[in-house]
Amino acid sequence: MSEPVIKVKGLQTSFFIDDGEIPAVDSIDFYINEGEILGIVGESGCGKSVTSLSIMGLVPNPPGKITGGEILFNGENLVNASERRMRQIRGNDIAMIFQEPMTSLNPLFTISSQLTEAIRIHNKCSKKQAKDRAVEILKLVGLPRAEELINDYPHQLSGGMRQRVMIAMAMACDPKVLIADEPTTALDVTIQAQILKLMKKLNQDLNTAIMLITHDLGVVAEVCERVVVMYAGKIVEEGEVRTIFKDPKHPYTAGLIKSVPDMREKKERLYSIPGNVPKPGSVKTGCRFAERCEYAFERCWTETPELYETDVEGHRVRCFLHVGEEEVQSDRAITTG
């Protein structure tokens, strides 16, 4: 078993506005092993992107701030790291593919300027050496005519090509960890498949640990080994992909899987989880999913569940339905009686 390259312990990230503190990420714990692809899934507003920005030290301050917990990278707590230290780590040891390449790439600079900047900063090499490395990495991500394309501007490239450039920028310095925030959003299915295949190849060839943030459970099933399911700023289920897809324990996870269209079944209407994700900070006590859960009983409204271990190693779920059968039956009897 490989060692965790990143350990997140009790991470809390909040945004401070006139109305007070709004917790976007609330005491979460997870890890990423060396050479592993970890999926982070959940609806919009669940805290996935804020988690990735917290790891990168890019939470906008103000109004955002990490208020608690640890982010351990090879034993070093990044929460306490200086901005100078984080600049050494970003792009070199931990890199990120942002959600929308057109807004992440600077339209005023060529691909060459943007790609060689990180290479020169971290590798201390000449302009020619940096450009040669940039062409090499563009070829690695499958871009044709790399020698010519490197002198183009972002608007001259297609969406798929821009996303490959973003991956090239992230992989330029051979990082140990790659955070991919919705890397296939707004791409057609053919380009999406190519991007996922490319990321999996980079993971296998370079042993890069990847944290893949996505809404698409099909993507998770295809490329990830473990998955973390987030809801309203908390982790509600965690485990191996095969375990969770075969037998999801949390009603939210089961709802997400149930909402995926099945080509073998004919349905007039696709399933969707009723209601919406609660606003951050609006649920003070109880399970945050209780309002949308068909199995909720009295305890769900008055107590906050912990992440409980199941009978499968490495599988945890934040739900009172799995605390113990006798205890659950007792609570249900009180609720119905």
The predicted-structure confidence for 265-288, as pLDDT tens digits, reads as follows 777 788 889 988 888 878 888 999
Q: How far is CA 106 from the centre of its chain?
A: 24
The CATH T-level fold of domain 4-93+175-336 is Rossmann fold (3.40.50)
- How far apart, in whole angstroms, are the C-alpha atoms of residue 20 and residue 271? 36
- How far apart, in whole angstroms, are the C-alpha atoms of residue 123 and residue 101? 24
* Nearest residue to 214 via CA among 187, 174, 240: 187
- How far apart, in whole angstroms, are the C-alpha atoms of residue 90 and residue 53? 11
pTM score: 0.86
Sequence ranges of the domains in the chain: 4-93+175-336
Q: Cis link prior to 183 (omega < 30° from 0)? A: no
pLDDT tens-digit map of 171-216: 888 889 999 988 877 667 777 787 788 888 888 888 889 999 988 8
Per-residue pLDDT at 58: 92
* Nearest residue to 78 via CA among 52, 53, 57: 57
For the segment 33-44, the average pLDDT, to the nearest whole number, is 92
Mean residue pLDDT of the chain comes to 86
Q: Angle at the Cα of 55 (from 95 to 193), degrees rounded to 5? A: 50
Does the pLDDT of residue 248 top 90, yes or no?
yes
